């Protein structure tokens, strides 16, 4: 108990899957959590089960909504220590079939959403000092950024963009003297509505399902444990990197 005691965290995409598990675990370990999502009904339901949690309807593509989310967080809890840029979606279509609209949608939600999150949060995040420990940003990428999966070229490109963005923002924080660590995580398959949708939509022998077939699926709590570690001071020497959590899929 208490590994992130006293910290205040925003988790995007907090209504479902990995984001909801992150919010539950961070709160159980002492953080005040703000869940945001486009799915307002579900988001409010999840937040109502977490003590003191705040839910805000939020499309991560919208810079104005980001300003509102950060301002509401500071108004409610007085500060911001942790940002988990988790919101995401996937559309299945290989490079020849993928429409430009679908390609852009995935880049907007994941790369632009992550960029806007870092840009909006950084000026208001705890920056550390003699008496305080500083902040942490965790950007949710995927093993899709690290290997070729023909069914999801746009998703893969977006997740690789997140890893590159993470490095750049981490270096910026160090150059500015901010004690804010910025890392990405790259999960393999974990059992969430997104993965269930993939299993329904893709044929069983689809290349993109290698990970599920050969390496099984983790639980959302497995990823939440990694997010908790990166949010906590236990990872104080880790910044600018990505950590793979895929049961050996990319080894
Ligand atoms: N589940 C996996 O196996 C897996 C593996 C690797 C990476 N990921 C990544 O983890 C993150 C969470 O995925 P999940 O598996 O929990 O999926 P999920 O579908 O259960 O949850 C994603 C959440 O993001 C929200 N969202 C989508 N577009 C949004 C937008 N524009 N603004 C705000 N919220 C938006 C959705 O409403 C949903 O609640 C995603 O970034 C996903 O790409 C998941």
Above 80 in pLDDT, residue 129? no
Q: Distance from the CA of 86 to the center of ligand 1, in angstroms?
A: 6
5 vs 2, 123, 247, CA distance in Å? 5, 22, 29
What's the pLDDT score for residue 207?
62
Q: What is the pLDDT of residues 51-83, one digit of tens each?
A: 999 999 999 999 999 999 999 999 999 999 999
| Residue 14 in contact with ligand 1 by CB distance below 6 A | no
Return the residue whose CA atom lies nearest to atom 20 of ligand 1.
17
Quickly state the pLDDT bin for 131 (edges 50, 70, 90).
low
Q: What percent of the chain has pLDDT over 90?
A: 87
What's the pLDDT score for residue 133?
79
Between 6 and 132, name the one with better pLDDT.
6
| Residue 38 in contact with ligand 1 by CB distance below 6 A | yes
Mean pLDDT of 95-106: 98
Q: Does the annotation count 178 as an active-site position?
A: no
Pick from 17, 117, 186 the residue to mutate for probing ligand 1's pocket: most ligand atoms within 8 Å of its CB. Answer: 17
Mean pLDDT of 174-185: 97
| Residue 16 in contact with ligand 1 by CB distance below 6 A | yes
In degrees rounded to 5, what are phi and psi of residue 206?
A: -60, 140
Write the secondary structure of the chain as one string of H (helix), E (strand) and C (coil).
Answer: CCCCCCCEEEEECCCCHHHHHHHHHHHHCCCEEEEEECCHHHHHHHHHCCCCCEEEECCCCCHHHHHHHHHHHHHHHCCCCEEEECCCCCCCCCCCCCCHHHHHHHHHHHHHHHHHHHHHHHHHCCCCCCCCCCEEEEEECCHHHCCCCCCCHHHHHHHHHHHHHHHHHHHHHHHHCCCEEEEEEEECCECCHHHHHHHHHCCCCCHHHHHHHHHCCECHHHHHHHHHHHHCHHHCCCCCCEEEECCCCCC
Angle at 186 between CA 57 and CA 135, to 5 degrees: 60
Q: What is the pLDDT of residues 7-49, one digit of tens each?
A: 999 999 999 999 999 999 999 999 999 999 999 999 999 999 9
What's the pLDDT score for residue 176?
96
Nearest ligand 1 atom, CA 144 = 6
What's the pLDDT score for residue 1?
66
Q: Distance from the CA of 15 to the center of ligand 1, in angstroms?
A: 9
Mean pLDDT of 154-176: 98
Mean pLDDT of 98-125: 98
* Range of weakest confidence among 85-94, 190-199, 204-213: 204-213
Domains, the chain, in order of start with CATH, read 8-245 (3.40.50.720)
Q: Distance from the CA of 5 to the center of ligand 1, in angstroms?
A: 26
Quickly state the pLDDT bin for 136 (edges 50, 70, 90).
very high
Average pLDDT, the chain: 94
Between 209 and 223, name the one with better pLDDT.
223
Above 80 in pLDDT, residue 188? yes
How many angstroms separate the CA atoms of 149 and 156, rounded?
8
* Residue of 55, 115, 155, 178 with catalytic role: 155
Kindly tell me the sign of the dihedral angle through the C-alpha atoms of 95, 100, 101, 106: positive
| Residue 247 in contact with ligand 1 by CB distance below 6 A | no
| Residue 18 in contact with ligand 1 by CB distance below 6 A | yes
| Residue 13 in contact with ligand 1 by CB distance below 6 A | yes
């Amino acid at each position: 108990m208490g590994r992130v005691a006293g910290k205040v965290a925003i988790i995007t995409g907090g209504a479902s899957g990995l984001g909801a598990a992150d919010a539950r675990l961070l709160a159980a370990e002492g953080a005040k959590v703000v869940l945001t999502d486009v799915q307002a009904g579900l988001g409010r339901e999840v937040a109502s089960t977490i003590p003191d949690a705040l839910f805000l309807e939020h499309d991560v593509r919208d810079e104005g909504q980001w300003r509102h989310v950060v301002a509401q967080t500071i108004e409610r809890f007085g500060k911001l220590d942790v940002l988990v840029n988790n919101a995401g979606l996937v559309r299945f279509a290989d490079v020849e079939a993928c429409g430009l609209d679908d390609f852009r949608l995935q880049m907007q939600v994941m790369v632009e959403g992550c960029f806007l999150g870092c840009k909006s949060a950084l000026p208001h995040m705890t920056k550390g000092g003699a008496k305080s420990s500083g902040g942490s940003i965790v950007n949710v990428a995927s093993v899709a950024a690290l290997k070729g999966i023909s069914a999801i070229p746009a998703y893969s490109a977006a997740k690789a963009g997140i890893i590159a963005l993470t490095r750049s923002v981490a270096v910026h924080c160090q150059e500015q003297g901010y004690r804010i660590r910025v890392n990405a995580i790259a999960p393999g398959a974990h059992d969430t509505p997104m993965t269930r949708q993939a299993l329904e939509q893709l044929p069983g022998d689809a290349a993109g399902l290698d990970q599920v077939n050969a390496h099984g699926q983790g639980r959302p709590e497995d990823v939440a444990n990694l997010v908790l570690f990166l949010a906590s001071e236990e990872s104080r020497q880790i910044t600018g990197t990505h950590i793979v959590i895929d049961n050996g899929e990319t080894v």
